[in-house]
């Protein structure tokens, strides 16, 4: 349940999970919007909340995307994003909540997502914070504005996809996720691709996007239920 339009009197269950969708503002080739990661994170969070009782907070659209230079990105520092998420979680703890999931849809945010639980624990040891990156749960090789992300967007927000502008980008012949991770960990990684795309979006489809969403949500729910067991909920 999104709390965006709820009154404070309707937000009564402080034992319920809180999900914070975390995205980015960065280029996704010529065919996808800069909000792609945020749209995916918010969609997945809302779908999860329909299946397991959760509050979904407003998405955070700003992330750490410096690796996209010289392509378009609106980035904030690791320190600033860490402080923002930490302050949000601390405030939630002060309002009686003790279970927060940060659902991350951008690779560049990973370091922050790992650090925030440790940082907040110094202030409130009873507040349980978990970061989940969605892409390891799709059961496919990931990309950037390629087949996977384009298919997801065709299923989630087709009006925002300009397939007539979709073109093949840099393709790793080994199709290795570890290579993709190394690629993104390089601060000038996107200089290797001419159009900002890692992968081939031209064969993407809504049907494939729906398949990926189904698998991802199943795995996200399984992961969250494992966390529930850990917390004895």
The region of weakest confidence among 22-31, 104-113, 159-168, 182-191 is: 182-191
Question: In this predicted model, which residue has the larger pLDDT, 9 or 84?
Answer: 84
Model confidence band, residue 116 (pLDDT cutoffs 50, 70, 90):
very high
Residue ranges of the domains in the chain?
17-226
Q: Is 129 helix (H, G, I), strand (E, B) or coil?
A: strand
Model confidence pTM above 0.85 = yes
What is the average per-residue pLDDT within 146-172? Answer: 95
Cα torsion 53, 227, 77, 93 to 10°: value is: 60
Q: What pLDDT, in 10s, does the model give residues 62-85?
A: 999 998 888 999 999 999 999 999
pLDDT confidence of residue 112: 95
> What is each CA distance from 192 to 41, 94, 106, 185, 197, in whole angstroms?
27, 46, 19, 13, 10
Instruction: Please enumerate in sequence order all residues whose Cβ is within 8 A of that of 105, keeping only pairs 6 or more positions apart, or say none.
Output: 21, 22, 23, 24, 37, 38, 40, 41, 44, 133, 134, 135
User: How large a percentage of the chain has pLDDT more than 90?
Assistant: 69
pLDDT confidence of residue 175: 54
Q: What is the largest CA-CA distance in the chain?
A: 55
Mean per-residue pLDDT over the chain, rounded: 90
The secondary structure of 46-115, three-state, reads: HHHHHHCCEEECCCECCECCHHHCCCCECECCHHHHHHHHHHHHHHHHHCCCCEEEEEECCHHHHHHHHH
Classify domain 17-226 by CATH number.
Answer: 3.40.50.10310
Q: What pLDDT, in 10s, does the model give residues 171-230?
A: 876 654 445 555 555 555 667 788 989 899 999 999 999 999 999 999 999 999 999 888
Cβ(208)–Cβ(152) under 8 Å?
A: no
pLDDT confidence of residue 189: 60
């Amino acid at each position: 349940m999104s709390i965006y339009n709820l009154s404070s009197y309707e937000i009564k269950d402080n034992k319920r999970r809180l999900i914070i969708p975390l995205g980015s503002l960065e280029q996704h080739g010529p065919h996808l919007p800069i909000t792609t990661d945020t749209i995916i994170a918010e969609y997945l969070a809302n779908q999860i909340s329909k299946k397991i009782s959760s509050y979904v907070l407003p998405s955070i659209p700003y992330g750490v995307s410096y690796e996209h230079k010289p392509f378009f990105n609106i980035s904030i520092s690791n320190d600033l994003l860490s402080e923002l998420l930490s302050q949000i979680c601390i405030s939630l703890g002060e309002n009686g909540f003790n279970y927060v999931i940060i659902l991350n849809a951008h690779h560049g945010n990973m370091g922050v997502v790992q650090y925030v639980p440790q940082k907040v624990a110094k202030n409130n040891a009873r507040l349980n914070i978990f970061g989940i990156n969605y892409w390891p749960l799709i059961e496919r090789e990931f990309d950037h504005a390629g087949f996977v992300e384009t298919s997801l967007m065709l299923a989630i927000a087709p009006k925002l996809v300009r397939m007539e502008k979709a073109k093949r980008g840099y393709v790793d012949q080994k199709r290795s996720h570890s290579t993709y991770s190394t690629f993104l960990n390089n601060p000038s990684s996107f200089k290797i691709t001419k159009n900002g795309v890692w992968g081939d979006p031209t064969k993407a489809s809504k049907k494939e996007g729906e398949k990926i969403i189904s698998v991802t949500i199943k795995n996200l729910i399984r992961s969250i239920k494992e966390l529930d067991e850990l917390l004895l909920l």
